[in-house]
Amino acid sequence: MKAAIVINEQLNSGLLANAAACITSGLFSGEQNILGDGIEGNGVIFIPITKIAILILKQNKKPWEELVARAKKNKLKYMLLTEEAQSTTNYGEYIQRVQGKSIEELTVIGIGVLGEDNVVQKFSGDLGLLR
């Protein structure tokens, strides 16, 4: 199992980090066996981290529609993050901004996919790592 997150590399570092966090939380929602257990340290508990690889990739000017089509074609679990989501702190407002809209009506800033290693690699093979 592997995850890949493709983000518009033109975002500033704070928005990039936020986008990766939001996509990961949505993508992993409802999934089993992706997170490890909490680890007890000396007077602290370390939070669980993922047991799978998460690639963070650049969009490389690939149209979001193409990336969504790739995810669907490869039967990957996917989720999009939009500027409309990132620019609000109210979930109800986010729903109003995106519900019933097509990808062309929104400003997509990232997509996350989750699936078997080789299928995620097929999806992301021509996208460079975000450095």
Domain spans, the chain: 2-124
Could you give the angle at which helices 64-73 and 117-124 cross, rounded to 10 degrees? 150
From first to last of its 131 residues, the chain has per-residue pLDDT tens of 999 999 999 999 999 999 999 999 999 998 988 988 889 999 999 988 899 999 999 998 899 999 999 999 999 999 999 999 999 989 999 999 999 999 999 999 999 999 999 999 999 999 999 98
Residue 8, C-beta contacts closer than 8 angstroms, at least 6 positions apart: 59, 108, 109, 110
Sign, CA torsion 77/83/84/89: positive
The helix/strand/coil state of 8 is: coil
CATH of domain 2-124: 3.40.1490.10
pTM for the complete prediction?
0.89
6-23 burial, b if ≥16 CB within 10 A, otherwise e? bbbeebeeebbebbbebb
| Nearest in space to 50 (alpha carbons), one of 16, 73, 20, 79 | 20
